[in-house]
Amino acid sequence: MINASLKELSAALADKRISSTELTQLYLDRIARLNPDLNAYITVDAERSLAAAKAADARRAAGNAHALTGVPLAQKDIFCAEGWRTTCGSKMLETFVSPYDAHVVTRLEKDAGMVSLGKTNMDEFAMGSSNETSYYGPVQNPWDRSRVPGGSSGGSAAAVAARLAPIATGTDTGGSIRQPAALCNLTGLKPTYGVVSRWGMIAFASSLDQAGPMGKSAEDCALLLSAMAGFDPKDSTSLERPVEDYARDLEQPLAGLKIGLPKEFFADGMDADVAKAVDEAIAEYRKLGAEIVEVSLPNMKLSVPAYYVIAPAEASSNLSRFDGVRYGHRAAEYTDLTSLYKKSRAEGFGAEVKRRILIGTYVLSHGYYDAYYLQAQKVRRLIAQDFAAAFAQCDVILGPTSPDVAFRAGEKAADPVQMYLSDIYTIAVNLAGLPGMSLPCGFAQRDGKRLPVGLQLIGDYFSEARLLNVAHQYQRATDWHQQMPEGL
């Protein structure tokens, strides 16, 4: 049952071969056994989850169930959930229990009737590419416990990879769904900016943050995205569009599809095993009838520096509310109001969050705004124009998700620039607001362990259904996505 797809779980619940209570207990038992080592979850409340499962069983018995009613899921600890502790991976919010639900939580748990198994670990305030900046400790990659699962949605990725949940939510500001999906052999989708509401999602960089699904297959992601997307009047950046059925095109053949390969993605810097796996995936797409064309994204090299101006600038503004007075941790000892602010923020934030707040405050300061922030916004526009030109020549862009497989814990912790380059292939998608996804395309051998390689697909605005179709057809022809870590 732990390897079943969402469609298979839904059918099993509908046919009464298993109840939601039994299914939820199965996952809770695995969490109790494996989470103490993996550290994928920050908060688990078995009593609460079983109560939700019981309510889901009653809803199915009453005949008013959604297709996903009773299916368990893991929620990234960045989403506020009424009555659940919501920490965002930070000491700053260690004791915060949300009085309300994020829109995503309402859609999935209240409207669809899915059952939350708990809140998953993450880099503090979603700032990181390795899940090592969490106040609650690092997450282990289930494929090799000495390596990172990626970040910032590494807890969600590890939970699904180790079958501690059938599917999970994540958020992606610069690749935080796609990179951990690649490093943990999952399928993860970052939708077009505005497709999923950010209301109730603790903000890192508001013009870049986007929630999305992380699962074992494109089909699972399509079903979850259909349940979590939709217009939300409480979010001014939410797009007022009809809710789509993102699974509608999964079975469409790929004959005639034009796949663009940006030459900048295949320059120096990519690991040889990653390059080999991506080349084999391209060959598989050719067999499926796709035409491969070369495209160019000439400003791709500027995406990392532009991102690390814009994202910290927005973070320094968003995190100013956590001062020990309005929100967050308050220092026990202080002498005056200024001392209260300083000590509360010094104690509540970790080193990476402080670094980004300082960078963001600097680039927004008088005399430097034009030189840094304004220039970065101009680069952002150029990157979006590059993608528009590329999509005039192709339907989908293909490339690697990450330049390498999962690295060892602590390997890049002392070098922030090397850590930031982990997202070199994913950041441009967020700057342009486009949809992108990662799916498994092979393995590389490291120290006797098999480590997953991720393939990235990028689409034009609102082409999520097409992306999922392209990924699903590849997953029908291959079995990379069905493989799971040994010993679990």
List the catalytic residues. 76, 152, 176
Q: Residue 112: what are its φ and ψ, rounded to 5°?
A: -85, -20
Contact at 8 Å (CB) between 206 and 237?
yes
Contact at 8 Å (CB) between 198 and 163?
no
Contact at 8 Å (CB) between 102 and 80?
yes
Q: How many Cβ atoms from other residues are within 10 Å of residue 245's Cβ?
A: 12
Contact at 8 Å (CB) between 235 and 198?
yes
CA angle 29/32/33 to nearest 5° reads 90
| Token duo for residue 287 | 């067999």
Of 158, 159, 140, 136, residue with least CA distance to 148 = 140
| Token duo for residue 167 | 């599917």
H or E element in which residue 154 lies = helix 154-161
Q: What is the full DSSP assignment across 262-276?
A: EGGGGSTTS-HHHHH
Q: What is the full DSSP assignment across 197-248?
A: --TTBPPSSTTT--EEEEESSHHHHHHHHHHH----TT-TT----PPP-TTT
Cα separation of 42 and 300, whole Å?
36
Please state whether beta strands 258-262 and 291-295 pair in parallel, antiparallel, or not at all (unpaired). Answer: parallel
Cα separation of 176 and 342, whole Å?
30
Cα separation of 106 and 148, whole Å?
31
C-alpha R_g of the chain: 21
CA 158 to chain centre: 12
Cα 290 to Cα 281, 285, 286, 387, 460: the distances in Å are 12, 6, 5, 20, 17
Could you check whether the bond before residue 463 is cis, i.e. omega within 30 degrees of 0? no
How big is the chain, counted in residues? 488
What are 213's strand-pairing partners? 169
Cα separation of 381 and 376, whole Å?
9
H or E element in which residue 43 lies = strand 41-43
